[in-house]
Amino acid sequence: MKEYTINTAQYFSLLFFVLSFLCLADFVHGTDHIIESNITFYLIHLITGMGFLVFSRLGTETSIYFIRSVGLAYLLISLIGFQVFQEAFLQTNSQWSHVFYLNLMNYLHFVLGIILSFSGTILNNRRRQIAITGYG
């Protein structure tokens, strides 16, 4: 179980490192290649990736809690984004491409939050099952 949890956290770490470097590439080039970003997005994804890597080395339980916490944070970010999106859309006459992009990012954060939260819950349930029965 320990190796499975650590590997899961390391895969999420790799995902966030890739996201951070995609954000950095777009920031350095100054064009909208993949992700419209700034240095803040780069740093947030980089720090999150480093967090996954560090917490994967601290043990199973801390790794699981970190995965679930990041998932809940991304769910919260997406819900706030949906609220801000709705208010901004109702108050301004934005271009549809910009409106679509903002809402797409909210959906991506929402899906990522669901995946992380669900993964953390599955890992936690499996850890408990192994602790009680001795096998998974």
Summarize pLDDT for 37-86 with one digit per residue, the tens: 667 777 888 888 888 888 888 888 888 899 999 999 999 988 888 887 76
Taking only the tens place, the pLDDT of each residue in 104-132 is: 778 888 999 999 999 989 888 888 887 78
125: CB partners within 8 A, 6+ apart: none
Distance CA 74, CA 117 (A): 9
